[in-house]
Amino acid sequence: MDLGLQGKVVVIAGGAAGIGRECAEAFAAEGARLAIFDWDADALAETASAIGATGAEVHTERVDVSDARSVDAAHARVIESLGGIDVGFNNAAIITPSKAIEDTSEDDWDRVVGVNLKGVWLCVRAQVRHMRPRGAGAIVNMASAAALVGAPGTTPYTAAKHGVLGITRTVALELATTGVRVNAVAPGTVDTKLNTQLFAGEDPFADALVRQGQPIGRNAHTSEIADAVLWLASERSTFVLGSTLVIDGGFTAQ
């Protein structure tokens, strides 16, 4: 099935590892031109080298998504170098080890919300400023099943992901008639390094439902999330606006 992504310029924030890297590889396989943003310079260089070796065009930017100047400057350089932005996938995220709210520090809150919520807002803002005048574009934001339910021990992360859905829905409505679409994906637990950080210490809520796995009986593979992201970014989903595609193995159906 042709997704219509050949030659499209795709910005992937948080694209050097995990779901972001899987999506970068998938977009490249569809013939897209990539702009990969990440804070980890070593992972960024390795990812760009590996994907570039396939013949794909890869532009990289070391970006702090919680900083407006860093985000705006990186988008401006992509527009100048690649001629525009057709797709934004705002995936950058961090998480801290599970803690009860009374044990969660202000620094934990500021860092997680700064990346996972403010970072999405800043990237969406930069992309919309470019896409709205062009009358075309697709933005996909990374939410989580934790955007739909409570997840004990993850107050900053869960609050941020709930906020991502608020950004997604609100901006989608602001842009509804402009030709720019904004949607989100909400994965359940995925086999990535990020998720291992949640249980780096003793988990005070090990008996919580969200720790018991997904009804399907396994975690998601990163490729399964990439399939959803590419569909939302493609010309196969042109009537999808302000939606959240839940990919959680049945977890939120319980």
How many angstroms separate the CA atoms of 31 and 123, rounded?
Answer: 23
Would residue 157 show up in a list of annotated catalytic residues for this protein? yes
Domain boundaries, the chain: 9-247
How many C-alpha atoms does 91 have within 13 Å on its Cβ side? Answer: 29
CB 168 within 8 A of CB 199: no
Token pair, residue 125, equals: 């803002």
pLDDT by residue for the chain (254 residues), tens only, comes to: 789 999 999 999 999 999 999 999 999 999 999 999 999 999 999 999 999 999 999 999 999 999 999 999 999 999 999 999 999 999 999 999 999 999 999 999 999 999 999 999 999 999 999 999 999 999 999 999 999 999 999 999 999 999 999 999 999 999 999 999 999 999 999 988 777 766 767 888 888 888 888 999 999 999 999 999 999 999 999 999 999 999 999 999 99
Residue 245: how many CB atoms within 10 A of its CB? Answer: 18
Q: Which of the following is catalytic: 121, 157, 231, 251?
A: 157
Contacts of the segment 173-176: beta carbons below 8 A, 24+ positions apart: 173/242, 175/128, 175/132, 176/241, 176/242
Cβ neighbours for 180, distance < 8 A, ≥ 6 positions apart = 128, 131, 132, 135, 136, 137, 138, 139
Fold of 9-247: Rossmann fold (3.40.50)
Q: Is the pTM of this model over 0.75?
A: yes
Q: Provide the 3-class DSSP secondary structure of residue 139.
A: strand
User: Rounded distance, CA 225 to CA 216, Å?
Assistant: 15
The residue written with tokens 């399907």 in the block is 216
- Output the CA torsion sign for 210, 215, 218, 221: negative
What the block records as the tokens of 18 is: 């995990």
The residue with tokens 């919300």 is: 113
